[in-house]
Amino acid sequence: MKRFVLIAGALMALFSSRAFAQNDNAFEIASSESGVVSLDAASHIGFGYNLLKSNDFTASGSEEFFVNILNLNVYPTEWFGIEVGVDYKTMNFDSRENAFFLDSDKKIQAGKIADVISSSPEKFRSRFRSNTFSVPVMFKFKAGTTSIGLGVEGDMNLNGRIKNKYVEDGKKVKDIKKGAQFNKYNYNLLATLSFDGTGVYFRYYPKSSQLLPEGSVNVGFMAVGVIFDM
């Protein structure tokens, strides 16, 4: 999580300075007396925690980080609009009591640490990670600087990997396995509440939308976090 905080801080500093220099990073496509259509680049960033539920492993933490690439804003009125974006998102799922590994089909499985590592290492942490392009479609309701968003987000999962980190015989070991299988597409339901450019979000993945393909380790989750306009 420290790495994500540092990345988030760097991105916020970069885009905040750009916005200060340019005053506005939105490109207005069309406007009228009652509404406006605009295009933003890098309009927001966010990070949060995934609340996991699994019968196959004991979770010790999970976090996500996302940054907006492009955002189309269609506001027919001052108080209501539709926003369609493209975000880059990473999600990490951790366990300190089980070890993740890839089976012969490159599907993610979980087992006992001693069975997977063939030893009893110290400071063990197992993690699998996904890299994703997301397309959120949000209905936004605004009152002054307060904004409420409700919508759905489609995910296109690009790739994933497993990383086992531990200490063995006083030496730090980092074992990375790439090529993990994820479902190519899935979706989630998304809600946001923000005030003056800072807000919170809630993301829920229904049972019909699984990150991992059938036959992989079982995992269900939802996410809560913070989001910042840039």
Q: Where are the alpha helices (DSSP H) in the chain?
A: 2-22, 113-117
What are the residue boundaries of the structural domains of the chain, listed by start?
Answer: 2-229
SS3 of residue 97 by DSSP? coil
Q: Is 137 left (phi over 0), alpha (psi -120 to 50) or beta?
A: beta
Choose among 73, 85, 68, 80: nearest CA to 31.
Answer: 73
pLDDT in tens, 129-169: 999 999 999 999 999 999 999 999 999 999 899 999 999 88
> Residues 6 or more apart from 221 whose CB is under 8 A from it?
50, 51, 52, 53, 62, 93, 205, 211
Look at the block and give the residue holding tokens 């996904």: 130
Does the pLDDT of residue 23 top 70, yes or no?
A: no
pLDDT top residue among 202 and 20: 202
The model's pTM:
0.83
Q: How many Å apart are CA 89 and CA 187, to the nearest integer?
A: 13
